[in-house]
A and B are shown apart, each in its own frame.
Chain A
Amino acid sequence: MSDEILRVDDLKVYYHTPSGPVKAVDGVTFSLRPNERFGLVGESGSGKSTTALAIMRLIKPPGFIESGKVRLGEIRLSELSEDEIRKVRLAEIALVPQGAMNSLNPVMRIKDQILDGVRSHQNGSADRTIVERLPELLHTVGLQPNVLRLYPHELSGGMKQRVCIAIGISLSPKVIIADEPTSALDVVVQRQIMQTLGSVQERLGASVLLVGHDMGLMAQFVDRIGVMYGGRLVEVGPVRDMFKEPLHPYTQLLISSLPSLETKGVFRGIPGTPPSLLNPPSGCVFHPRCPKAFSRCSVDVPEIREVRPGRWVSCHLF
């Protein structure tokens, strides 16, 4: 327990629609250690972004956190009031959201956008010291101080994303959640941004929760991976073990479907279609597409269990 900086327990997030509840996240449990890089990976509709938003208490109606607990160290994030969570966001736990660079205010200079977040936590006090530290903050993300005076449209995609990371780390949070931080960027810029994020994390002694769908990026950056499918967490383990010996059938299929530069002309997709979250399959959410499914799979929902030290799987085969 003491070795966890973030703990998510049986989190459920449902979107209540006229047709019924869409179970975007349906019982997710995992934890993040200090100084760790954890990758939450899944395809579209798997629930990974919703999980990230739920941790930050940013789910809006018709979405609701149905049940579950989220703790950041000693702070019970899921139980705080609106005012209390606002104090914790950015200062203790920060989110660099998907498409963040598109949400920079086009009529505000970069300096003011960074200060915007910082000031709301310091109650407008000690302005001068904060402003003096801005160039250093930009330097941490590889930007020149002159960027402070610029407007977002004067920056490239990579620069804007660095600004978003700078905002995210401006108050030295313990946990940085990055949701698809590089999806609109070229591989060259992507690598630079990820290396920046890594060095920032080391300097702050923070933990990073990287949410995404690119297994290649995960292999390059994270220490541990959690695989999500249909709103559930199906497998968690150290990144090397996950690639060398994936245990859950979905993880196995996912990894073998990745195109590589090693073998040419071998194509292995996963047949079938992603599950409906409105009417999810009974029992294990993956069973309709699982090559190893047996009778129990359509009846009982598998619990996530530690089947080997550090290796968690949610599958009846174990």
Chain B
Amino acid sequence: MPPLLEAKNATKVFGSGQQANVALDNFSMAVSGEAPSFTSIAGESGSGKTTLARLLLGFSQPSTGEILYRGKDLWKMSGGEWLQFRKDVQAIFQDQFEVFNPFYRIDHLLTTPIGKFHLAKSKGQARAQIEEALHAVGLRPEETLGRYPHQLSGGQRQRLTIARALLLHPRLIIADEPVSMVDASLRATILESLVKLHTEFGISFLYITHDLTTAYQISDNIIVLYRGSVAEVGDVDLVIKQPQHPYSRLLISSIPEPNVDHRWGEEQALPGTEVKLRSNHSCRFADRCPFVMPMCTESVPPLYRTDDSRAAACFLYKDAPSISGDDMDQVLSGKATAASGG
């Protein structure tokens, strides 16, 4: 059975010539159609994570490579196939203010997909579906329906966007920074809802974020992106607790932990160069890497599989077997992967 959603050697370039910016470089990954997975895609701004989200959701077309829904190229599908795609793959976005038209009551956000996808045959049935979705995200219909967006809190609005996604009974939800604009005290409960949807309804998640702490909290796997390429990938416990790629290490050591005993070390974090690397035949991190070697500026490091469930794209690990980007799934832990790990 083909994967539910797959990126195959997807590259996205913005601009051209001297100004060309390779936002995402030859990226491949697959979300299984069988066993539910929870994967984080982590990176800073400029990493390509938002570009990837947009490609996977069909909001933007890859410059080269393909995005496949159940084996079909997104950009060659019929209208009927797109509708099915939109049911199976839903999204939650960062800015809960933008999602709502302030002139409509929030009911509008929920009744629109029911109408568009013909999910209900009667108003009563629609109402029942809406109430079920609201309960699933911890909202009370009597406290939310009939209100305008400004009458609800940020946390409530964000939960509504999740309820909206749920109405379609998706197989995969792509969540792009779903809690970064929500207050700290509400984040935990929203994240908990996402995990609940995963465990209770078997929905797969792609959680896109720059916040490694929340990524650690809720996902099984993580893909760390840097400047459009995969730096490190694998089991979230391994990558976060024992990072190998110098960029992952820098990233994780820079997290401001709410722990007075674990303060940032005295050593200065490496300054970023503000210059884009022109060469395509070099590790993207070479200009900032404290471990840089001559070979790093001569070719692009492949992914080296340093553990059963982890790989890092760094020449420091060149003695480990290398895997191609297409086979990244081998290190993503999941109930589906049996492969050669036994």
Q: Does A171 contact B (CB under 8 A)?
A: no
Q: When chains A and B are docked, how far (Å) is the Cα of A200 from the Cα of B264?
A: 17
Closest residue of chain B to A221 (Cβ to Cβ) is B256
Closest residue of chain B to A157 (Cβ to Cβ) is B45
Q: Does A254 contact B (CB under 8 A)?
A: yes
Q: Does B112 contact A (CB under 8 A)?
A: no
Contact residue among A44, A217, A243, A271 (Cβ-Cβ distance under 8 Å from B154): A44
Evaluate contact between A186 and B268: CB separation under 8 angstroms: no
Residues A259 and B214 in contact in the complex (CB < 8 Å), given A192-B269, A269-B187: yes
Evaluate contact between A267 and B256: CB separation under 8 angstroms: no
Residues A213 and B183 in contact in the complex (CB < 8 Å), given A264-B217, A267-B192: yes
Interface size on A, residues (CB 8 A): 47
Shortest beta-carbon distance, B18 to chain A, in Å? 16
Evaluate contact between B257 and A187: CB separation under 8 angstroms: no
Evaluate contact between B259 and A189: CB separation under 8 angstroms: no
Chain A residues with Cβ below 8 Å from B270 are: 188
Q: When chains A and B are docked, how far (Å) is the Cα of A157 from the Cα of B187?
A: 26
Evaluate contact between A239 and B272: CB separation under 8 angstroms: no
Shortest beta-carbon distance, A137 to chain B, in Å? 18
Contact residue among B45, B191, B260 (Cβ-Cβ distance under 8 Å from A186): B45
Q: Does A260 contact B (CB under 8 A)?
A: yes
Q: When chains A and B are docked, how far (Å) is the Cα of A97 from the Cα of B195?
A: 37
Q: When chains A and B are docked, how far (Å) is the Cα of A190 from the Cα of B256?
A: 9
Shortest beta-carbon distance, B251 to chain A, in Å? 6
Shortest beta-carbon distance, A223 to chain B, in Å? 10
Q: Does B78 contact A (CB under 8 A)?
A: no
- Range of interface residues on B (Cβ < 8 Å): 35 or more
Contact residue among B153, B186, B250, B256 (Cβ-Cβ distance under 8 Å from A217): B256
Chain B residues with Cβ below 8 Å from A188 are: 44, 250-251, 254, 269-270, 272
Evaluate contact between A213 and B264: CB separation under 8 angstroms: no
Shortest beta-carbon distance, B67 to chain A, in Å? 27
Contacting A at CB under 8 A, from B239-285, are 240-241, 250-251, 254-260, 263-264, 268-272, 274
Evaluate contact between A255 and B216: CB separation under 8 angstroms: no
Closest residue of chain B to A270 (Cβ to Cβ) is B185
Contact residue among A194, A195, A216, A264 (Cβ-Cβ distance under 8 Å from B258): A216
Evaluate contact between A156 and B264: CB separation under 8 angstroms: no
Shortest beta-carbon distance, B214 to chain A, in Å? 5
Q: Does A158 contact B (CB under 8 A)?
A: yes
Q: Does B156 contact A (CB under 8 A)?
A: yes
Shortest beta-carbon distance, B1 to chain A, in Å? 30
Q: When chains A and B are docked, how far (Å) is the Cα of A254 from the Cα of B113?
A: 36
Q: When chains A and B are docked, how far (Å) is the Cα of A239 from the Cα of B256?
A: 14
Shortest beta-carbon distance, A247 to chain B, in Å? 16
Q: A257-280: contact bitstring with B at CB < 8 Å (1 yes, 0 no)?
A: 111110011011111011000000
Interface centre among B185, B188, B214, B216 (most CB of A within 10 A): B185
Known: A215-B258, A218-B258, A258-B184. 4 other contacts (CB 8 A): A186-B45, A216-B257, A243-B260, A269-B186
Using CB atoms and an 8 Å cutoff, list the residues of chain A in contact with chain B.
43-44, 142, 155-159, 186-192, 194-195, 213-221, 239-240, 243-244, 253-255, 257-261, 264-265, 267-271, 273-274
